[in-house]
Structure formats: structure tokens, C-alpha cells
Structure 1
Amino acid sequence: MIRKAALHLLLIFVIGFSANAQQFPYFTHYTFNKFVNNPAAAGIDGYTTVNLIAREQWVGIGGTPKTHALVFDSRILGDSYILQKLPIRKNEKPRTRSGNTAWGGYIINDANGPISKTYLNGTYAYHLDLGERQVSFGLSMLLFQNRLDGDQLITHDGSSVEDDLIPNGKESFWIMDANFGVYLAARDYYAGYSTVQLFNSKVKFGVNEKGVYELKRQHNLIGGYRFFLTNRIDLEPSTLIKIQETARAQIDLTAKFIIDKRYWGGLNLRSGTALAIFGGLNYDKYYFGYAFEYDFNTFAKQTFATHEITVIARFGDAARRYKWLNSY
């Protein structure tokens, strides 16, 4: 009986942590992945961008959180990189570069012990040119799969316990949701607001009605300002605030230095619970970034910290309409 109660507490903690405290994937390189948190940022700079991300928390301990993502977004310009490559467009007359619409999507796999999720996202964004500024609106449809491996929930002596809250073997199901965002960008600043998981979808494991959990809506605020310190060095402080309903807000404070528009490095502080140092470089159309994150909690001291790698490819010529929006 005690063993079953302990297992109940473990399951509630694991599911509760996944559904509330960190229900949407987090990345230290959020300034490079604004589109993940805000659909209005899709195609914001006029380029076609492909981003690969790998993040592993608390390296050295089995079953700790691991996140892998493939992110894509593109501005639909009259002569965009993608449209130029389509055979059907070869014989058409040249068209204007102006374009107000953008699209994008991502595939994210987020695993945390016995619980894992796969996110599939499709996004449409509309951009309004206001001269020196740009206002954008975006809407995403989100389809994600929740999976729970009940066989991984075992007691200290290696035995399992039958319970209505705990599925036998593996259980999975799909949920549909939506995200909405608005974004303002200028040459030296940007700001945005978004809401993810608009529908407050419900998650249910096992056959017991007590095993139903609601995915709470999350509100994101992002903002940054670029200071052009010298001809070679820029400084970009930024913040990302995530506010979940019925949960404490998470605040990221970041300071990023950009050197010769080719190298970058900086620090990220998250709600006083973790500190990350990150850096990277640009070669031609490719960008390579790495982040080392150290958590302040006692548990993290027994691990080899958290590591995150991002690789970005940007396609399109240098004469894009919104060239001044280049934030790398």
C-alpha cells in the first residue's frame, strides 16, 4: 500500500511537471528561435531558415530531459528562394520582391523519463510594412502526441504495481491545439506577445478519471534592443517571459555581444535558477551555436550540466527587403 502511494506521488510529480512547470519545450537560444515561441516571427527577416536544435539536460543521468527540433520558416516573396527552384516558375516573368505572407513549421521531440511528446506545427504569418518598422501576426495549428511508458514506472526493488492511473506498457494519443502571436520589429529593437496552447487541451493516462490533466495556456512576452557600440561590436540585451496559468512565471534575461556580424557570445540567466554561457559563429549561410547551462539546484551538482547545440542555415540573397532585421 505504501509502495502504491509512493508510485502515485511519482506519477503525479512527473505528469504535473510536464503538464505545468515545463509543458512547452525550452531553448537557451531563444533569440535564434523566436518563431518557436511566437508564430508571428515566421519569415520575419525575408530569408528561408532551417534550424536544427539538440538539447540535453543534466547529462550523465539516465532518463533526464532531452529535446530535438527541426524548425523551418520562410517569407513568401515574389522571387523567394523556394519559388525560384520550382520548375513551373522558370518561364514566368520576374516578379516583385514584395511579399507580406510567410509560413513555417517545426517538429519537436521532447522526452522526459517515462513521458515523451512530439510536436507538429504548421504556421501562417502576415507582415505589415510600416516603413522603419514591421508589425506581424501569426497563427499556428499544433498537433502533438503524448506518450507514457508505464513499464518505466517501477519501485526501488524493480517491481511494478498495477493501478488505474498507470497504463500497462506504452500508451499514446494525439491532441490538437493552436498558437497565436503578434510581433513588432525595427532596425534596433523588437517586441512580441504570443499565446500557446489556446485550447487548454486535456491529457488522460490510464482508465481512471483522476488521471485527466489539463494543459494550461502559456503567455509569452519577448523583447530586445540592439546597441551599436562600435563599427565592429553590437550589444543586444533581451528578455523572454513565460507566464503559465496557475504556475509561476519564468523570466529569461540575456546579454548577447555580436562581433563583426560573424561571432557572438553572451550570458543567459533564467529566473535565478540557471545560468548559461553561449557563443557561436557564422560561416557563409550557416550559423553554429553552443550553450552550456548550469542549474543552481542540488540535484544538478551531481550531473555534467545541460548542453544545447543549434545549427542554422539561411537561404536567399543579401538584397532582401528587410535586410536590417538580421539579428544574428
Structure 2
Amino acid sequence: MRILTVMMRKIFKGLIVIVVLLLQFAELFAQQNALFSQYMFNTLAFNPAYAGSRNVAAATALYRNQWVGIDGAPQTGTFTMDAPFANERLGLGIQLMSDKIGITKTTGIVLSGAYRIPINEGSLSFGLQGSMNNYFAGFSNVNLDPSGPVPDMAFAADVNKTLYNFGSGAYYRNSRFYAGFSVQDFVRNRLNFNDINPGDITARQSAHAYLATGYVFPLGFDFDLKTSVLVKGVKGAPVQGDFNATLWIKQVLAIGAEYRTSADISAMMEIKVSPRVSLGYAFDKSITSLRTYNSGSHEFMLRYEFSFDRDRILSPRYF
């Protein structure tokens, strides 16, 4: 056990080095997908290999109201549910999501499946996901400058499309460590209708890459320090890293902080109302020039774990 723990710590340190190196290449990667501060409660949303990894059926709802005070700022809601099957060798998950930014709104469903391989005291899983989203952009509702061209063909019609995509990922975890890598949106779907003039600007979906890792350090006296890192990359925007540290008290109450590179600092907390019910909240404060125009971002989380065996005791799960 001690050898395994030492090995996990070395892997964790190695992944941190990789994270730091990736952040040096900020000019290579742009964010299209929804963003959450409490990503550790919403892993299924970006890595299908997570499905069923908690060994119980779990449902998680998250709502994020970003940049309060800015008209058209992102508002995102997501509901995920996953469970293990076939003696915990298979995991299946579903996600429902709604993401609204300005005149655009994306709603959809994502189905995920994972195959798990037991390794010592942990498991390694590989997952695939398929998604169907409705993308709407209300260009006709934009208030245009009356001195401009009439009509302006760029805003003459709304965009309303159904987009199909897929992703994949790998995920390893044991009781105190996890690491995962995933890629979403392999298909470069067109987001606009500019099919007539080949010279028009074409907006497309881009593949998003995610690297996530975390480790829980036991501090004794009913205290544990849970650390986690998420690195997100997409072509056209800077690589972004979320660094999180949370102090758990008696495995019931957690208080933590997060730093998102060149974006926000966050304060968060989680409380286990019961062995099956958890509540979470995060408040983000911008550290860019946007801080002048908004009063922060609010994020709420609710998780419920199902137990169909009344005699089974739900053991603490950090991830």
C-alpha cells in the first residue's frame, strides 16, 4: 500500500509538471464549451471514461450564472447521471445541458459509455461519447446601427442547426488519486449558413482537449486536503488551467479556493447533507478588466447518490 501511495504521488507530481509545460504554450489553443468552477463534480461533462467510476448510481445538477451584471453573459445548466453495470466493469452516463451566451443558445444530450479495468486498488477506464445539440443564434434580434447598410445580410437570418459529435477519454482512479485525459467535439461542424459565398467567414466547432488530475492528502485529526487541476485547450485560444485546493473536515464539510489562469479566483464550499446528498457553491471574481463590469459569477451544485441495497454503507468518495 505504501509503495502504491508513493507511486501515485510521483505520478501526480509528474502531471503537474506537464500542466505547467502546457501553460507555456498559451498561444496555441479557444474556449467554446461551457465552463464550470466545480468541475470536479461534473467530470462526466468532459470525460466519458468517468461514467460509473464512483461505483454507485449518481445524479448531479449544476447551474452557473457567469459575470452577473453583463447583459448576455453566459448562463449554463447541466444535469448528469451515471451508474456502473456488469459487476462494475461497464459504466453508462447521460448528460442534459443548456448553455446561453448572448444571442446564442445550445441545448442537447450526451450519451457516454466506459469500460473499466481493475488495477491493484484502482481502475483504468476508457470511454466514448456521442452528442446531439441544437444550436440557435438569433441574428435577426440584434439591434443594428441605423446608419449601416440596410439590409445587412450578415444579420438577415437566424441560425438553427442540429449538430452531432463525439469524443473519447481515459480515466484512472483509486481512493485518493485520479488522472484523466479526454477530447471532445472531433467533428468540425459548421455553425453558420454561409454556403453561398466561399469567401465568407466560416464558424466551426473545434476539438477541446482536457487533462485532469487530483490527489487527496490525509492531514490527520479528521482533516484531508483535496487538490485538483484541470487544463483545457482548444485551437485559437490560450490554454487555461484551473488549480483547486479544498480542505475537508470530517468528510462532511469542505472549504476551498481556486485559481483560473488569466481569468478568475474562486471561493467554494461543499457540504454532505447526508451520506447520499451533497450541496456545493462557488463564487468567482474576475481578475481581468472584466471585474469593472460584473459583480462575479455564482455556481450551484446538487448531487444525489442512489443506493438500492439498504444494508450497503456508502463509503466516502472524493472524486
TM tier relative to shorter chain: 0.7 to 0.9
Which residues in structure 2 correspond to 1:13-52 (within 5 Å)? 21-52=30-61
Q: Which of 96, 107, 111 is the equivalent residue of 2:96? A: 107
Work out the CA distance in 2 between the residues paired with 1:153 and 1:299: 23
Structure 1 residue 199, shift from structure 2 partner: 1.8
Judge conservation of contact 1:21–1:247 (CA < 8 Å) in 2.
yes
Q: Give the equivalent residue in structure 2 for 1:313.
A: 304
For structure 1, which segment, 66-75 or 199-208, has the greater mean C-alpha deviation from structure 2 after superposition? 199-208
Structure 1 residue 233, shift from structure 2 partner: 0.8
Structure 1 alignment gaps of length 5 or more = 1-19, 78-97
Q: Which of 194, 212, 224 is the equivalent residue of 2:182? A: 194
Q: Give the equivalent residue in structure 2 for 1:302.
A: 293
Q: Which of 183, 204, 226 is the equivalent residue of 1:236? A: 226
Structure 1 residue 62, shift from structure 2 partner: 2.5
Q: Which of 197, 204, 212 is the equivalent residue of 1:222? A: 212
Q: Secondary structure at 1:213's aligned position in 2?
A: coil
Work out the CA distance in 2 between the residues paired with 1:228 and 1:161: 66
Q: Give the equivalent residue in structure 2 for 1:166.
A: 155
Structure 1 residue 179, shift from structure 2 partner: 1.0
Structure 1 residue 286, shift from structure 2 partner: 0.9
Residues 199 and 260 (structure 1 numbering): CA distance in 2 closer, same or farther, change over 3 Å? same
Work out the CA distance in 2 between the residues paired with 1:320 and 1:201: 46
Structure 1 residue 318, shift from structure 2 partner: 8.5
Work out the CA distance in 1 between the residues paired with 2:207 and 2:175: 31
Letter in 2 for 1:175: L
Judge conservation of contact 1:46–1:322 (CA < 8 Å) in 2.
no
Structure 1 residue 158, shift from structure 2 partner: 10
Residues 102 and 160 (structure 1 numbering): CA distance in 2 closer, same or farther, change over 3 Å? farther
Describe the superposition over 1:156-175 as per-residue Cα deviations: whole angstroms up to 9, x where unpaired: 5699953333243x331011
TM-score by length of 2: 0.84
Work out the CA distance in 1 between the residues paired with 2:249 and 2:53: 22
Q: Secondary structure at 2:153's aligned position in 1?
A: coil
Q: Give the equivalent residue in structure 1 for 2:82.
A: 73
Residues 21 and 244 (structure 1 numbering): CA distance in 2 closer, same or farther, change over 3 Å? closer
Judge conservation of contact 1:267–1:276 (CA < 8 Å) in 2.
yes
Q: Give the equivalent residue in structure 2 for 1:11.
A: none
Q: CA RMSD in A?
A: 2.3
For structure 1, which segment, 311-320 or 59-68, has the greater mean C-alpha deviation from structure 2 after superposition? 311-320
Judge conservation of contact 1:103–1:125 (CA < 8 Å) in 2.
yes
Structure 1 residue ranges (4+ consecutive) displaced by more than 3 angstroms after TM superposition: 156-161, 205-209, 317-324
Describe the superposition over 1:297-316 as per-residue Cα deviations: whole angstroms up to 9, x where unpaired: 22332222111001111112
Judge conservation of contact 1:235–1:256 (CA < 8 Å) in 2.
yes
Describe the superposition over 1:161-197 as per-residue Cα deviations: whole angstroms up to 9, x where unpaired: 53333243x3310111101000010122110000101
Judge conservation of contact 2:175–2:318 (CA < 8 Å) in 1.
no
Work out the CA distance in 2 between the residues paired with 1:307 and 1:171: 29
Work out the CA distance in 2 between the residues paired with 1:270 and 1:176: 30
TM-score by length of 1: 0.81
Q: Which of 238, 246, 250 is the equivalent residue of 2:236? A: 246
Work out the CA distance in 2 between the residues paired with 1:158 and 1:116: 28
Work out the CA distance in 1 between the residues paired with 2:62 and 2:147: 35
Work out the CA distance in 1 between the residues paired with 2:153 and 2:106: 22
Judge conservation of contact 2:262–2:288 (CA < 8 Å) in 1.
no
Judge conservation of contact 1:43–1:75 (CA < 8 Å) in 2.
yes
Q: % of aligned pairs identical?
A: 24
Letter in 1 for 2:284: E
The reply on whether 1:56 has 2:65 as its aligned counterpart is yes
Q: Give the equivalent residue in structure 1 for 2:8.
A: none
Q: Give the equivalent residue in structure 2 for 1:6.
A: none
Residues 163 and 157 (structure 1 numbering): CA distance in 2 closer, same or farther, change over 3 Å? closer
